[in-house]
Structure 1
Amino acid sequence: MKQPARLSVFKTYKLFVGGKFPRSESGRVYEVTDTRGNWLANAPLGSRKDARDAVVAARKAFGGWSGATAYNRGQVLYRVAELLQGRREQFAAEVADAEGLGRARAQAAVDAAIDRWVWYAGWSDKVAQVAGSANPVAGPFFNLSVPEPAGVVAVLAPQDSSLLGLVSVLAPVIVTGNTAVVVAAERCPLPALSLAEVLATSDVPGGVVNVLSGRTAELAAPLAAHADVQAIDLTGADAETAVGLERAAAGTLKRVRRPGPEDWTADPGTGRLLAFTETKTVWHPMGT
């Protein structure tokens, strides 16, 4: 007997806020296409309300995440890399569609993203040795300077690298104890939304990473002006939008990382690890 034809089960992409997958508060979606203009999916078109909800979730998660040991954060990030490896083929297909790459180059980009995530995971309990110090002072005191997370960081994902670039800007933010609100690349958000599914099934606590999709300028504006966001990475903003966002961020004294040319395949160094940390100096009396 001839088997009836199956109907395709299309994937419904959603936002990722507070460890859950809500639809956009506005109910809006927008079409995502590949580099040839072929329809891929409808992605949620996030609103200003969604951005504010994501900040609330990130702020709520900050205490627990920043208070975890650096070793524990490293283990949690390594678990994410394990799950990424298990979904390598799915991400390769999404990256190929997003960036117009052949299969081999897309797989190489995914492998590089997984390796980059592992690399940052390994820095979790080492960054304090690089950025901290024991300061010489006159008197019977220990004087120690140590890096601490800035708080909630808004991250505008790069528009030209849907997974490797995304990992390169997100991993250093959270490995140092910050929580993040990520605005996915406007044209190619699907790898970021799939990464959210990986984060949800990993050990990353809900709210540590929140992923929004939609119009970058629309979502970035409330994040730049939000008093409960301590820093913003403008990597994914165009030059004109970045100027306005930097002005808005100045109103609440945010730390700002400006956009600039990036080679996502190059050695990342420690610049992004230290971009959103503060230095705390502690005086402690010596024992007699």
Structure 2
Amino acid sequence: MAERLAVKKTYKLYIGGKFPRSESGRSYQVSDAKGRFLANAAWATRKDARDAVVAARKAYPGWSGATAYNRGQVLYRVAEVMEGRHAQFVDEVAAGEGVARGKAEKLVDEAIDRWVWYAGWSDKIAQVVGSSNPVAGPYFDFSVPEPTGVVAVLAPQRSSLLGLVSVLAPVIVGGNTAVLAASLERPLPAVTLSEVLATSDLPGGVVNILTGRVGDTAAWLAAHMDVNAVDLAGAAGDAEHARQLELAAADNLKRVVRAPEAEPEWTAEPGLERITAYLETKTVWHPVGI
């Protein structure tokens, strides 16, 4: 038999549960750690970023209004589908991050386990950060967490899957919707995750994924008046870029998770800080006996 021609892939964006081409029609070459061609990825523009925000806002009422138990079940289903793509994730992490296959398998295992860990917090976080407050009078007084809204997330540039999961899962588990700008040089795990999300029970628009240079979309997301919070993890190590994004986010008083001085060690215990960063506290008074 003649040798088969390689089927070279050109991936698209993930917006509103669909896979549109970039508005610019442009793509760029993704290579492995040794410079060998892997695939082409879409080059997102500010128009694509705006479309993603519109999709995230449209999905927000349904996702934030779902029960915490239902959100947890949906996220657990995502982990199940990720497990079915385990070998593909390992190949992409190993190629993109230039690590041995054994190390890549460990990173993928940790990423899936972390997704499950966050899914488990969906119906528990309210009990941990909420409260029933003692008051002097015939009233019940409750403080309960509520989602912030649409969150723009700059994914880590080096940790293509574990870091990605560590910044995305805590956003949506609390009922927020997300627009995520993936790693420029290592976008393939994010692209595969978008295919996982599209074939799981997650409603379209809850997560929207953009590929390309973060600098082409980050400033527009940070300044967008319909974005309620921004995570600058992907600007780690670039203090001036992070400062400019914080200034842009200040126009509508966005919540900001600041960029670290260097990309953190994502294998460390995650804690609840990234969940609570995107939660508001609502306090309700109600008369006793009514």
Q: Which TM-score applies when normalising by structure 2?
A: 0.97
Aligned to 1:246: 246
Deviates more, 1:260-269 or 1:228-237: 260-269
Find the partner of 2:287 among 263, 267, 285. 285
Give the Cα–Cα distance (whole angstroms) in 2 for the partners of residues 263 and 131 of structure 1. Answer: 26
Aligned to 2:75: 77
In the TM superposition, 1:100-249 aligns within 5 A as 100-237=98-235, 238-249=238-249
Give the deviation of 1:240 after TM superposition: 1.7
What is the aligned-residue RMSD (CA, Å)? Answer: 0.9
Letter in 2 for 1:62: Y
Give the deviation of 1:43 after TM superposition: 0.7
Give the deviation of 1:165 after TM superposition: 0.2
State how many pairs are aligned: 286
Aligned to 1:27: 25
Identity, % of aligned pairs? 69
Q: Deviations over 1:120-147 (max 9, x none)?
A: 0000000001110011111111000011
Find the partner of 1:265 among 262, 267, 280. 267
Runs (5+) with no aligned partner, structure 2: none
Give the deviation of 1:149 after TM superposition: 0.4
Give the Cα–Cα distance (whole angstroms) in 2 for the partners of residues 188 and 16 of structure 1. Answer: 16
Give the Cα–Cα distance (whole angstroms) in 2 for the partners of residues 250 and 117 of structure 1. Answer: 31
Aligned to 1:51: 49
Deviates more, 1:59-68 or 1:40-49: 40-49
Letter in 2 for 1:199: L
Runs (5+) with no aligned partner, structure 1: none
Letter in 2 for 1:19: G
Find the partner of 1:276 among 275, 278, 288. 278
3-state SS, counterpart of residue 283 of structure 1: strand
Give the deviation of 1:11 after TM superposition: 2.2
Aligned to 1:256: 256
Give the Cα–Cα distance (whole angstroms) in 2 for the partners of residues 285 and 214 of structure 1. Answer: 54
Give the Cα–Cα distance (whole angstroms) in 2 for the partners of residues 249 and 39 of structure 1. Answer: 36
Give the deviation of 1:4 after TM superposition: 3.0
Give the Cα–Cα distance (whole angstroms) in 1 for the partners of residues 284 and 184 of structure 2. Answer: 43
Aligned to 1:86: 84
Give the deviation of 1:40 after TM superposition: 1.3
Give the deviation of 1:94 after TM superposition: 0.2
Task: Kindly indicate whether the alpha-carbon contact (under 8 Å) linking 2:10 and 2:42 is maintained by their aligned counterparts in 1.
Answer: no
3-state SS, counterpart of residue 37 of structure 1: coil
Runs ≥4 residues deviating over 4 A = none
Aligned to 2:13: 15
Give the Cα–Cα distance (whole angstroms) in 1 for the partners of residues 202 and 242 of structure 2. Answer: 30
Letter in 2 for 1:222: W
Give the deviation of 1:223 after TM superposition: 0.4
Give the deviation of 1:177 after TM superposition: 0.1
